[in-house]
Amino acid sequence: MQSEFLKNLRASKVEKPVPLEMTFDRGNRRFLILWSDRHESIYSLEQLRKLCPCAVCREIRDKENEVRGELKVGSFTKIPLINPSIPQKIEVEEIEPVGRYAIQFRWNDGHDTGLYAFEYLRAICPCEQCSER
């Protein structure tokens, strides 16, 4: 990530936690965020791709959740089913900061319309502490 971008983030006066550090760990296929409240989030690329917040992906997830509900497999779940149109091996081709509030991933399936707001990223933090809530 561009250090200038992170410096600006730190300088901005927001109450909500903002990323102090963002690390794309290509070898382990993870994306890490260290937040201003010292919380650390570790996302797998699959998780980030599946939880893409764009309208198209949201709709796909809603449909999948509906199907699940009808089949009475269980109650609605936070983790969506795998979208069959997503390739098995998700890779990030590019990560771009968007303003001061989000980042944008370009995935190897050509998808790049999802703006991952920091608030959203924090909300989907997969750590034990956060997923308990």
Is 127 a binding residue for Zn ion by CB under 5 A? The answer is yes
Nearest-approach distance from CB 74 to Zn ion, in angstroms: 24
Give the footprint of Zn ion on residues 64-123 (CB under 5 A).
114
User: Is residue 101 within 8 Å of 42, Cβ to Cβ?
Assistant: no
> What residues pair up with 95 in beta bridges, in sequence order?
105
Window of 19-27, 30-38, 92-100, 124-132 that interacts with Zn ion by CB under 5 A = 124-132
Task: State the binding string over 33-52 for Zn ion (x if CB under 5 A, else -).
Answer: -------------------x
Nearest alpha-carbon partner for 22 in 8, 41, 37, 45: 41
Is 130 a binding residue for Zn ion by CB under 5 A? The answer is yes
Nearest-approach distance from CB 4 to Zn ion, in angstroms: 27
User: Is residue 45 within 8 Å of 92, Cβ to Cβ?
Assistant: yes
Q: Which residue has the tokens 């990560």?
A: 95
User: Is residue 68 within 8 Å of 82, Cβ to Cβ?
Assistant: no
User: Is residue 96 within 8 Å of 106, Cβ to Cβ?
Assistant: yes
Please work out the total of residues on this chain that contact Zn ion, with binding judged by CB under 5 A.
7
Is 55 a binding residue for Zn ion by CB under 5 A? The answer is no
Residues that bind Zn ion (CB under 5 A): 52, 54, 57, 114, 125, 127, 130
